[in-house]
Structure 1
Amino acid sequence: MTTRYDAHFELGDATWLNTAHQGALPTVAAEAARRAIAWKQKPFELTGERFKGVPEGLRAAVARLLNANEDEIVLANSASYGLHLIANAYPWRQGDEIIVMETDFPSDILPWLALEARYGVKVRRLKPQGRVLSPDELRAAVTPATRLFCTTLVHSFSGHAIDLDALGDVCQSAGVVFVVNASQALGARALDVTGHPVDAVTTVGFKWLCGPYGTGFCWMAPRLIDRLHRTHAYWLSMLTADDLAGELGELRVGPVERAADFDVFGTANFFNFTALREAIDLLLAIGLEAVEDHNQRLVQKLVESCTENGYRLISPSAATASRSSLVLLTDDDPAALARLKSRLDREGIFTAVRAGAVRLSPHLYNSTSQIDLVGDILNESRAS
């Protein structure tokens, strides 16, 4: 029997199967945001301890989530923030090469393209034979000029997960920086950054982590931090409000010492960061393994319903390492697929359409009865 976690959320009668777009905010996170609003209503509640404690608390929660050190965490507002940070802070040289997947989500490609005219860097867009790049395809593409490889952990347009360790081994053996966008994975599954050959992981906080929109973070291995130069000098990453009470003396901008030197401006983001911390703490309390088990039970039921009713799966059909929490189905008859989407909409079942497929992305607030209803609709739509 699947454990019910929907009591932590307030979705009402809606069936939200679009976590790949936005995760639902848990009640405890909403309460934290309301407390933060109350602080702002009475600015004397915005104490120095809270200005310091909000980013410190979130950084500590993220470190626990990733089994990382706090000094390796960059607080951000998106996954793109981390990608642009690395793109603009890395010491590029004329002729350096970056490899991306041609069919990846745009956020994993665009930051690197902006470097071509500025530094003479070449971005190679590899088209995979399957849904995501295989280790053999990457190995064959790497050249002595290759400096960095960026890809997604779970592909938004197909639901396929990459072979993180095998791709990382290819990069590690060639001295290539390996950057991973985990936005469609982290929160639906555990990710221990100490157990994989990866140099950086960036993600949003508002999908599977169930935080507010406009949140995210980036983890970077110390070996990568040591190679990066400053992109900005944010005063709160170097000073505190208490420092303003006396003579500041001569301001200096020193070398990068920790990941926090790259934090987004406004790290005492009371409305968003307090809520994201509560959402992460909730997931950790439930346990990421339990969340993944719950999600995969729902995914399995969806896969079986799709197969039984003759829909073609874009996402993996077998329960292998390549399966994620995203289920994408399509039909050879576009009109039939459009009718299915319309029926789901009418029944208050929220999904998305990506790359010509209906995408369903269940999370811990969904129940087996909701998935059974989707199965009934798949059957009825096929029969009609």
Structure 2
Amino acid sequence: MSRPVARFLSSTSKARGVWSEYAARPSSLQLVDKTARNELFEGFSASGPSSMKSNNKHNYTSPELLDDTFKSAYEILEQDAARQYKFIEQNKDKLSAKQLEKAMVKTEQYNPEVMYNTREFADCLDRSVPVYRKFLKEKWESYGQMITMQRLEQLHVIPDTLPTLAPETEVNVKFGHNDEAEFADWVVPGTRLPAFAVSKPPTIEIQEFEPVENGTGLYTVLVVNPDVPDLSCNGYSTALHYALVNVPLDFVNNTITPLSLVEHPERVLKPYMPLLPEKNVPTQRACLWVFRQGHELKDVGVSESQFDIRAFAEENQLHAVGAHVWRQDYDRSTNSVRAEYGLEKGRVFDQIRNAEPLL
């Protein structure tokens, strides 16, 4: 039986470089898995690399010259990173926030420890670190962003509410009051949810990836329903179901929870009211929009029915950066949720349109 070849890159064979200096760099750049880190720099144990999931990892043998190649490549990349750190130190006062971000990414994007953390521990990365946000943005753009935009366009959230969206932030929504795992997790855009599952305000995660140069770090969140039956025009109108303003967020503190709003009621412009479709009404869309504010909003008023989201955004100079959507139909829990909010039972519409006028 062949034995694994140990990777030899210990501190005795290599001078400590810029990627070893955690006094000047965030400690979160260090590999989270201590066992894997020891193997990376000191060699595999006799039982084989811990990263292998197979029960036959004791049969593992490193490819020929892998260790020498790794050592040489590591030293070259670390030297490039040292030159980039030196450039930043010499020019940090001249660089804009976005230029500084890009320079910081270049210092660490090929660091093996950073790459391993990104691949294996994506859910617990330090989002204050530019290089981790770069990898998270790439992951979002490769899947989450495409799913969201597909649902927004497929369900005609665009252009029924706002004309278009160039997404800049990842927006995730979940209803944490639910006990059932099916309804307690993050909601996939476009999912149909029963009334009881959305009866309480949602938790909203808004992840920025790049510095906000022309903004204040304040956000507005609106939930609108563009599918409210309007008998006067034999069509539909838009109702406002939730409105938050002047919500401060950053890369790390990026989640709006119901508890945080209890502590800051001044941020609630319109208290949450779940969508409660009436019987035989077509599927309704809960369209959640996230806006970046250019300034703090003061003395803002809203009309809950016949709400014009486009006019509201224009009047308050709001820049749409993200969105989400879920759908609802009339179901067995609708009337009980209506009662929770002090509403009477909803109307019942005919399933077949008659020749007589609606009014």
More helix by share: 1
Higher RCO (C-alpha under 8 Å, 6+ residues apart): 1
Structure with larger Rg: 2
TM-score of Structure 1 vs Structure 2, range by shorter chain: under 0.3
TM-score, structure 1 normalization = 0.21
